[in-house]
Structure 1
């Protein structure tokens, strides 16, 4: 995806029509994944590889730093525990426009398939669940699941200091873990609030 959501690049971004296809050319911006692909490809034909392009990865995991579902769950639980508003950490664009996700199980199945399938060698594959949603609609579902009050996104919310709010909440998470007998974890080990900053 590169810096598609970087507001400093508005007007400079190359528009790609959706859906994104595996054979689309590379975007003309630095992208860490391009460097990785080039590195692996430099060893051909000694090795084979496959590239798996997911969207936002979600899934059940006790320790996944970039797991969006786990980070949002911890955020919602802390909000409920402290009586804080469960505010959307993103911007108006992502609140209103369609998004998709990749279930970790689907991604794992695709990677196993590619590893044992001759025709998948040295190929790139997109991997999403196929369904789309808006964060506006999903936020209401999350509020019901975690029993927190729905807070609609407003323009001034783009200045919401999401990282500042969650900074120092590790002690609160420790209280919650102890009080409810949860699997013992440190908030910093199971969440990555910085990862959600591009919402």
Structure 2
């Protein structure tokens, strides 16, 4: 890891990616960390908390002026919108407002990192070229990732600061209220199966059960973002990041069933939205019986996201050769990563 130091502003600090990066920089020697979002996480020791309205240019400038020591921005904010075109306006404007403010009020700005994902390659639209590489042709827009990267690349020209973009696949971090938190979906689904005496059936189609898939450990994600934000050889580029291996749900599923202490079921294609729609009371009973943290089911999971994850009948594979060539070689067994992520949820009394 680079020996660079500075002040990391983590924008969208309550999300899966943002919280992961915040935990990494908090307490790291030589670094100060700032948790920034409309509602910053309450439980952050060792980091400043900044409530910022990214849709308000004046508020952005005021908050950055109050934290003018910012040197590195990690932009992991996301604003949902009803359609892809509306997503562009919502998410591009937040980035523009923040960069405008940082250029005006943070004279020591050195780097801006964008948190993107495999949606860059069109994995939300259907089968795509795999293994996906950073210079693959773009799919037909709209895609707000494209607009954000085009903006930051154009704005950076001739400036002292640099940019980078991480394209991560399925980060297995923990956050509340995030629609893209895969490990919580598996954690609650498996826990409810056990409570009801049901086997762990696979809710997606057989094609998903057998397709190749990748995930990313939170530590690897945070280290990679730190790496690309501080290594000169990574400046002004995008990089795929995963654990570096592949797995199939078919092979992982028995290990997940064993974790929950239930029989391994079979492929039973059901919408999680429909299947779990009446299970809120079951979850409430589990919370009370096991002394779990008192979150309602809809505070933890978005079952529609689960239907998307388990509805993909094609390979989701990214090449990580590019970042490896820069010297970043961290990797992890993804089946072990999944079990570790679930164990963390259990240890933190999120699941029984």
1:168 pairs with one of 256, 273, 278: 278
1:63 corresponds to which residue?
Answer: 176
- Verify: 1:93 aligned to 2:207, yes or no: yes
Gaps of 5+ in 2: 1-117, 311-352
Distance 1:196 1:37 in 2: 28
Question: Between Structure 1 and Structure 2, which shows a larger proportion of strand residues?
Answer: 2
Q: Which runs of 4+ in 1 moved over 4 A?
A: none
Distance 2:280 2:151 in 1: 38
1:120 corresponds to which residue?
Answer: 234
- Verify: 1:38 aligned to 2:161, yes or no: no
Distance 2:203 2:141 in 1: 25
Is the CA contact 1:89–1:196 (under 8 Å) kept in the aligned structure 2? no
Distance 2:243 2:232 in 1: 24
1:170, distance to aligned residue in structure 2 (A): 2.4
Q: Name which one, 1 or 2, has greater alpha-carbon Rg.
A: 2
Distance 2:166 2:177 in 1: 18
2:306 corresponds to which residue?
Answer: 196
Gaps of 5+ in 1: none
* 1:92-171 matches, cutoff 5 A: 92-153=206-267, 157-158=268-269, 160-171=270-281
Q: What number of residue pairs does the alignment pair up?
A: 187
Alignment TM-score, normalising by the size of structure 2: 0.49
1:56, distance to aligned residue in structure 2 (A): 1.4
Alignment TM-score, normalising by the size of structure 1: 0.83
- Verify: 1:183 aligned to 2:296, yes or no: no
Structure 1 residues 178 and 161: CA distance shift in structure 2, 3 A: same
Larger RCO (CA under 8 A, 6+ residues apart):
1
Question: Cα RMSD (Å) of the superposition?
Answer: 2.1
Distance 1:147 1:176 in 2: 15
Structure 1 residues 197 and 30: CA distance shift in structure 2, 3 A: farther
1:30, distance to aligned residue in structure 2 (A): 3.3
1:72 corresponds to which residue?
Answer: 186
1:5, distance to aligned residue in structure 2 (A): 5.8
1:62, distance to aligned residue in structure 2 (A): 5.2
2:81 corresponds to which residue?
Answer: none
2:104 corresponds to which residue?
Answer: none
